[in-house]
Amino acid sequence: MSDIFPRAKRSVIMSKISGKETKPEVMVRKYLFAKGFRYRKNVKDLPGKPDIVLSKYKTVIFVNGCFWHGHTNCKKAALPTSNTQFWKEKISGNIIRDTENIYKLQNMGYKVLTVWQCELTPAGVREQTLNQLIEQITL
């Protein structure tokens, strides 16, 4: 199936996708703040510019979109049917970069946690995910 938008229009749409201040990221930050955690956002000095950095706990949190970061066995991570080769390379490149950044952060002594977009969707799952996140931070 071909794209319903012309190439130029699709380019404009894709350029509007932001890597910061996403709904899942804001949701996690608000939850942490309400629980008394203080953090820094998108710290440029650290590999991968983690979404949330909890210096007191030497912990970083990445809030990943399932599609963009290739979440395995997730419906939201399905590749588009058009331009498949491009998307395979793009997503696999993101996965490799993520893995390298996690390795670098762990070597710097940080605990690295990842929250996936799909883990925040249904309210019951969201609450469970965020409670587990608190437990992992304070371990």
Rounded Cα distance between 48 and 50, Å, is: 6
pLDDT tens, residue by residue, 3-53? 677 878 777 776 666 666 788 899 999 999 999 999 999 999 999 999 999
CA gap 14, 22 in Å, rounded:
15
Q: Which tokens belong to 44?
A: 């440029």
Q: Compute the distance between CA of residue 128 and CA of residue 117 in angstroms, rounded to an integer.
A: 14
Does 1 score more than 60 pLDDT? no
Residues 101, 80 contacting (CB under 8 angstroms): no
The model's confidence at residue 64, banded by pLDDT at 50, 70 and 90, is very high
The model's pTM is: 0.84
- Could you tell me the two tokens for 31? 């939850």
Condensed to tens digits (0 to 9), the pLDDT of residues 66-83 reads: 988 999 888 888 888 888
% pLDDT > 90, the chain: 61
Residue 74 has a pLDDT of 87
Q: Given the structure tokens 């979404």, which residue do they identify?
A: 51
Q: What integer is the mean pLDDT of 106-133?
A: 92
CB 54 within 8 A of CB 39: yes
The total number of residues shown for the chain amounts to: 139
Note the pLDDT of residue 16.
64
Q: Greatest CA separation found in the chain?
A: 50
pLDDT tier for residue 121 given thresholds of 50, 70 and 90: confident
Structural domains in the chain, sorted by start: 19-138 (3.40.960.10)
Phi first, then psi: give them for residue 102, nearest 5 degrees. Answer: -65, -45
CA distance 10 to 6: 6
46, 54 Cβ separation under 8 angstroms:
no
